[in-house]
Structure 1
Amino acid sequence: MNGVTAKNFSGDGFTIENNVDAVKKVPDKVKLDRVTADYNRRQGLSIIAGTNITITNSTFKHTEGTPSSDGIALERDKPYTLLLENMVIRHKRMQNNGGYGLIFAFSHHSRVEYNIIPSNKEGGFFKQCLRSYIVRKQNQL
C-alpha cells in the first residue's frame, strides 16, 4: 500500500490481520509506504497477526478517543498463538497520540529504526510480553 490516508475513522485507521481459521495463514510480506493515519479514534495502525511486515516513510498522528489510542500497536489477540514477527518500522513519525507512539505487545523479532516519536500522552515506546528481541536504533523520542 502506498500513499493512502486514513482520517477520522471511528476505529483503527489501518488494520493488518487475517481470519486464520478460514485462511490458515497470517498476512506475509505486507508493505505500507508513505501512508498517513490522522485523527482516528482507536489506533493509527493495528497489526494483529503477520510476518515480514514493513512500514516506512509514514505518519501516525492525533489518534485519540478509544483506548489505547496509540499511533501503532502490534497486539496479538488471545490466545496469543498467531505469528506477529519480523516487523520493520523505519523512517516514520508517530506524534500527538492519546496513548503511546508505538506499542509492542506479544510481538518479537522486529526492528524499529530512524523514527521520530514525540509528544504522545503516554510516552514514545512501550513493550510487553516479548519472547525475543526488538532492535531500536536511532529513534528520536
Structure 2
Amino acid sequence: MDIFERSKREKLHYIRILMELSRIDGEMHKEELKVIKYVALTLGLKQEEIREVIGLLNTPVELPSEDYHKIELLNDLVMLTVSDNKIEIQEFLFCKKTALQLGIHPEIINDTIESLLNNKNILPHLNRRQIFDTYMSVKSQDKNVYPDLP
C-alpha cells in the first residue's frame, strides 16, 4: 500500500479521533460537523460508512503510523479546533496530547494554529503535502527546532 493510501479501518479511526475532539466540550458544533464531513469525503468515505465510527467509540484508538498521515491528522485536528472561530483549552490540549501520542513535538500545534489563522482563505487540505514536507525537512535536518521528534 502506498503511504498516501489507507485502509477503511484507518479512515474510520481517523474520523473517530476528529469526532472525539469535536465532542470534548460537550457538544458538536455545526461548523465542526462540516469539517468532519469534508474530511470524510476527502478520505473517500460514504455516509453509511461514517456511521460505522459509532461502533468504534468504545474500542482503543488506532493512531496513524505513517508520518504523512500523522501530520495530516494534526492539521485536521487544528482545523477542527479553529472551525468555530474560538479555541477552547480542552481542544488545544487534546491536539497537543495527540501530537505526543504520535511521537511529534507538541509545539507543532502552535505553529499549525498560527499558520491556519494567518491563512484563513486557504483550505488546509490543499497544503497538506507542504506541511508534511516541512515536517520531514525539520525532522531530518534540524533537530534543534523540534529536538524531541522521533
> TM-score by structure 2 length?
0.29
TM score, norm. by length of structure 1: 0.30
Q: Which has the higher strand share?
A: 1
Which of 1 and 2 has higher RCO (CA within 8 Å, sep 6+)?
2
The structure with more radius of gyration = 2
